Structures are given as C-alpha cells and as structure tokens.
Amino acid sequence: MSISSLPAEGTAHASTPPVTVHEERQRQSRLSLAMVSPSVAVLLVWMAVPLAMTIYFSLIRYNLLYPGDNDFVGLENFYFFLTDEGFTAGMTNTLLLVCSVLLISVVVGVLIAVLVDTSFWGRGIVRVLLISPFFIMPTVSALVWKNLLLHPVSGVFAAVWRFFGAEPIDWFATYPMEAIILIVSWQWVPFAVLLLMTAMQSLDQEQKDAARLDGAGPVAIFWHITLPHLARPIAVVVMIETIFLLSIFAEIFTTTGGGPGYETTNLAYLIYSQALLQFDVGLASAGGLVAVLLANIAAFILIRMIGKNLTDKG
C-alpha cells in the first residue's frame, strides 16, 4: 500500500495544490485504492475463490459417481479423511520423505560443494554435470530411474548385481520408499549443491589461511570455518526444499503409484487418489484443506526457526 501510494502523492502535489488537506487525503486514498485494486482483484480470483470453493466442497457430500446427491454434511468429510487408514500412512510417508531427502541433500550437498571447491582438472564440466539433474522434469527422471536404472530385468543396477552374481532386487516392490527417496534426492541434491557451491566461493580465503596458521587442519577448518559460513545457505536450502518436498507427486505417480499398499503414499498422492480414483471431491477437498493447514504449520515453524537466522545479519 505505501509503495503504491508514493507516485500518487507526487502527482497530486504537482497538479492540484489549492485543495484542503482532507480532500487531498481522500483523493489520495481513492487513487491508491484504484492502483492496487487490479492486483487485489487478481489475488482474490486466484486464491480466495478456489479456497472458498474448496471449503464449500469439503462441507458437502460431493461424489462424482453420485451426481445430484450434494447434501450439507458438516465436518464428516474431515472425519473420514483423518480417520482413513491412508491418512496416517500419508502423514508418516510425507514426513519420512521430506526429512530423509532434506538430510541427504544437505549432507551430500555440503560434501560435494566442499569437494568441488578445490581446483582440479575439468572442474567446470563437473560442476555443470553436478547441477544438471535439477533441470530434468520430475516425470522424466522418475521414468529413467524406473525403466533404465532400477528395473529388475533391464536396469543398470540389476546388471551390476548380476555381474557380481547376486540376485537383482525389485526395488519398487522390496524397498519402495527407499527407491522414491533415492530418486527425489537425486533431483534435489543438485539444488543444494548449486546454492552451497556458490556460497563456498564467497568464503574468504584469508580466513582459511588464518585458521591454518592457528593450527587448524582440514577437518577443523571444515567444522569451525566452512560449516558456520554455510549455515545460512543451508537454511535456505532447507526452507525451499521443504516447500517443494511436501508436495512431491510426479515421482510417486510414475513409479509406484503410491503402493504397494499405502507404503509410498504421501499426502499429495492420497488427495489425488481420493479425488480422481474414488471420485470423492468432498473428501479430497477436506484432505486438501488439511494439507494446506499442515503446510502452513510447517512454514510457520521453519520461518520461526530459520527465518530468524536469515534476517539476522552475519
């Protein structure tokens, strides 16, 4: 508001000096209202309308298989969603997925970023290769993993297993969640590497020299100099990745389809299956609202925990 009222102030003073303060202020507020209204209107249409519709759907019985039967049912949809056996599975799987991928991408990301910071032959190419998985569409990379790498018959892993005389593993049947975590990590480690690698370049070389003179070996330099320097970019990685990892969908859809059973069903996939496999829009809307609520709680905690770290200079 204050920003959009600035130009209004300037033009008002220049063109119409002889008006009372009161009129002037009214005119300004009308002008600034007119100026922000398009964006407010877009926001309303974009966010408020879908939200209102979702809330409305979540309170009625609305199954596409039984058209016309749209009674008001109160919180029944929420009750069904929260007590569905898929819900607990979805919650645990979402948490498991987010936490493991975060852990893997931060740890591996830091290690890779530190390693590629030393100069070696072909470093430029290695850096590009390291971040390239991030630019591949999730569906494509999931398909590549499913059909070319993890496939029990034609996959590369199976070939390696057979080479050593071992029985190839059917990853998506035996270790479905681990396989999903592997695929998602493969996509998100590069993001962490990208951010942390850039951050490494701003690490003052003289600080490291000073630490070496102070008697710090490579490990001590990593703990006392490098890691504190990376604290902030790590916070950024955690924050951004959490937001995206909460809604992982394509990787599950293309590989396991949420199974076996509910083993790889996260919240996003659960809502999808409620809405489009069981055609229960009311239940899916309730699930969506629960997911929105959970995402907000997560965002709130993250911002309290990490946001302070970010705004605190230094």
Helix ranges, 202-249 (H):
205-213, 218-221, 227-245
Q: Quote the least distance from Cβ 231 to other proteins, whole Å.
A: 8
- Site for other proteins, rule CB under 8 A: 204, 206-207, 209-216, 220, 224-225, 228-229, 231, 313-314
Closest to other proteins by CB, 304 or 313: 313
Q: Quote the least distance from Cβ 121 to other proteins, whole Å.
A: 13
Q: Quote the least distance from Cβ 79 to other proteins, whole Å.
A: 49
Q: Quote the least distance from Cβ 194 to other proteins, whole Å.
A: 23
Closest to other proteins by CB, 68 or 215: 215
- State phi, psi for 204 to the nearest 5 degrees: -65, 120
Q: Quote the least distance from Cβ 223 to other proteins, whole Å.
A: 11
Eight-class DSSP state of 280: B
Cβ neighbours of 226 (radius 10 Å): 21
Closest to other proteins by CB, 9 or 209: 209
Q: Quote the least distance from Cβ 218 to other proteins, whole Å.
A: 12
Closest to other proteins by CB, 110 or 142: 110
Residues 91, 92, 98, 99, CA torsion sign? positive
Report yes or no: 98 and 90 within 8 Å, Cβ to Cβ: no
Q: How far is residue 233's CA from residue 21's CA, in Å, rounded to a whole number?
A: 49
- State phi, psi for 63 to the nearest 5 degrees: -115, 130
Report yes or no: 10 and 33 within 8 Å, Cβ to Cβ: no
Closest to other proteins by CB, 196 or 284: 196
Closest to other proteins by CB, 54 or 207: 207
Q: What is the dihedral of CA 156, 158, 162, 165, to 10 degrees?
A: 130
